[in-house]
Amino acid sequence: MATDCLTQENVPNLFGSMVFNDDTMRTRLPKDTYRILKKSISQGTHLELDVANVVANAMKDWAVEKGATHFTHWFQPMTNITAEKHDSFISPSGNGKIIMEFSGKELVRGEPDASSFPSGGLRATFEARGYTVWDVTSYAFIKDGTLCIPTAFCSYGGEALDKKTPLLRSMEALDKQAIRILRLFGNTTAQRVITTVGPEQEYFLIDKEMYLKRPDLIYTGRTLFGARPPKGQELEDHYFGTLKPKVSAFMKDLDEELWKLGVYAKTKHNEVAPAQHELAPIFTTTNIATDHNQITMEIMKSVADRHGLACLLHEKPFAGINGSGKHNNWSISTDTGINLLEPGETPNENAQFLLFLVAVIKAVDKYQDLLRISAASAGNDHRLGANEAPPAIISMFLGEELTAILDAIESGTEYRGKEKCQVEIGVTTLPRFPKDTTDRNRTSPFAFTGNKFEFRMLGSAFSIAGPNIVLNTVVAEILREFADSLEKASDFKKDVAKLVKDTFHNHKRIVFNGNNYSDDWVTEAGKRGLSNLKNTVDALPAYISKNSIELFTQHNVLTEQEIHSRYEILREGYCKIINIEALTMVDMVKGEVVPACLEYQSELANLLIQKKTCGSYDNSLESHLLDKISKLSADLLKKLDVLEKAILESKEEHESLIAHASFYRDKVFTAISDLRLVVDELETLVARKYWPFPTYAELLYSVI
């Protein structure tokens, strides 16, 4: 549990105390070994086995001192969660004794069984071997008495079976192209360009005992039925409200656990829906941010369990109540600390800012379908387009002032903002840009917020790796196009100005600063030619389109085979999730709802008989209820039969894989939704003593 009293002095000592971080490495490693390891981290150079042995021994000694007995290669298969296989440090020393050992070979590479992880056809089931390879850019840490070594995961043939490998590749791709641009602007100091991310994490907390009484929450992460509670989020009194004692204790414990693991947990508060909350970290390198977010989701669940709570990370655990997203705040910086998406102090710096800005604008417009599929899942389909989430239409928010500046550049007219001046990039002068003078557009899926973009479409259960792989790669591609053009420029300043002007002119359709929730925007987006891929099945083809394959293969982020594997994993996962939901609903209705309805009908019927026997004919209430529940029960059986038939039909052969996914969307999911309507109405009629599951009111207000 949480430390009794954290002070200004001991929080810094607590932070990173369970991480083999730079300070620990500097203290415990010989100077030469530390220098070689740092070079490997910063430049991606190979780490020789003799050096790895020294690092491994120091890491083992540190971990054992911290109470660790095992180590694991901690990796991120294509499941949105992490995986780990634990091995102890023990090694026989003769005479029935053991010593604690950990070799450089064990540190650098592992061989887990890869047969049961999703591969999308990259490997056959009988090809069980896989490899985990130490990611030296991410610090090792201790969790639950085990030394966790962040690793990439690949097949016997070298294909990426994880999310980390293509993420690292995408970061290298963007670094390569961004450096080309910086050199053209005369920057010879920066050696690397990195993307940084701060993922805001939303979640629900409910009572653990209530959770255990809902098989749908246990098996699917969401409630498959439930009538609206008398009070939901209508009064808007939960957002930023005072934390309840149990929630406050959970958050305090969570902060401390995350701080020990070096996670920059910064902000915590109540969200809009009852029982909904948010944690936001400080920005860090995308690779580290991805690792930290996976750790955060895992620790949230374990800490909640210690407090008698259940943490729900599904995108829409309760119908009619705000779902949970994950806001991916993304930016680009140099290793010298320059944010490339932040206006500068000179015309040259501002021209550079505008070039990177329009590169992102073009990337989002050109690859809008790919960004959409990066945020697609069966769970997120429930959330996108609802009042708390952006619609499925990709657009960008720049704010009125920045848009006006770009409009002025495009038209060659005078910009009349806070400072009246002529806007000509590098020709005369460029005004000092206003920094974050606009409100954050909560309805926009991709909003510029001063020095970063907030990609708001991600679902709460997502690994942020997938969307950031896409973001890094699409921006890298546009920067490549820009660099190819500008490296041939006869007049660099004029060519930059023309490139900014032409790019904004050709891609400004993606910029929309208004209300993305309005029906008018849907119509307007259609006129602009923007995609409206409303669900995962509609968005799936974008993953394996010609443009997508050319993009990823050109930048060595994914091979064509790896692209098709991820497409297949997403498609298959979509079908499996809906199938599990359907089977769970059938089981709950047959095993609990039907018996509850029969019991209550029996009570009403007996009451009518008793009244008639006693000569009382005032039976209108009982008759009315019995008649209504009887009709709904009959409808329940019809809808149940439709769902069961749809489940059976889903097992039959379909003309294509995408047709199979379409069947689950159109038939199975529709049958689930139709059956839910009947169950929800029955919940409002059947006496509470007979209803077998905790209601929405009980679930959402169970934590005090």
What local confidence, expressed as pLDDT, does residue 122 receive?
A: 67
**pTM for this one?**
0.93
Instruction: Give residue 231's pLDDT.
Output: 79
Cβ neighbourhood burial of 632 (10 Å; 0-12, 13-18, 19+): middle
Which pLDDT value is given to residue 396? 95
Domains of the chain: 14-162 (3.10.20.70), 170-225+236-558 (3.30.590.10), 573-700 (1.20.120.1560)
Average of pLDDT values for 87-95?
Answer: 88
pLDDT the model gives residue 665: 96
What share of the chain has pLDDT > 70, as a percent?
91
Percent of the chain with pLDDT over 90: 72
Residue range 271-290: mean pLDDT, rounded: 94
pLDDT of amino acid 528: 97
**Residue 95 — very low, low, confident or very high, per pLDDT cuts 50/70/90?**
confident
Between helix 164-184 and helix 465-486 the angle, nearest 10°, is 30
- Model confidence at 251, in pLDDT bands (50, 70, 90)? very high
b/e map 582-595, b = 16+ CB within 10 Å: bebbbebbeeebbe
Q: What is the DSSP string of 147-199?
A: EEEEEEEEETTS-B-BSHHHHHHHHHHHHHHHHHHHHHTT--S---EEEEEEE
Looking at residue 423, what is its pLDDT? 43
Segment 418-429, tens digit of pLDDT:
554 444 454 434
What confidence tens digit (pLDDT) does each residue in 524-535 have? Answer: 999 999 999 999
Bridge-partner residues for 459, per DSSP? 325
pLDDT above 70: residue 306 = yes
Residue 127's pLDDT band (boundaries 50, 70, 90)?
low
Mean pLDDT of the chain: 90
Distance CA 414, CA 417 (A): 9
- Spell out the residues 6+ positions from residue 426 whose beta carbon is closer than 8 angstroms to its own: 347, 348, 351, 493, 494, 496, 497
